[in-house]
Amino acid sequence: MRKSKPTLRYWDSCVFLAYLKEEPERVVQCDAILKAAQESKTLIITSSVTLFEVLWLDKDQRYDENSKQKIRDLFEYSFIKIADLTRFVADQARELKWEYHDIQIKDAGHLATVIESDVSRFETYDRKLIEYDKKFKNKLGQEIRIVEPFITTEPGLPF
- Segment 67-81, tens digit of pLDDT: 889 999 999 999 999
Look at residue 157 in the predicted model and tell me its pLDDT: 47
Its domain, for residue 143, covers: 7-147
Tally of domains in the chain: 1
Please check whether residue 154 lies inside any domain of the structure. Answer: no
pTM score of the predicted model: 0.90
pLDDT of 1: 53
Is 153 within the bounds of a domain?
Answer: no
Portion of the chain with pLDDT greater than 90, in percent: 81
| Residue 158 domain flag | no
> Domain for residue 152, yes or no?
no
Taken in order 97, 99, 103, 109, is the CA torsion positive or negative? negative
pLDDT band at 61 (very low <50, low <70, confident <90, very high): low
CATH number where 127 lies: 3.40.50.1010
- Render 96-148 in DSSP notation, one character per residue: HHHH-TTS-HHHHHHHHHHHTSS--EEE---HHHHTTTTS-B-TTSPBPEEE-
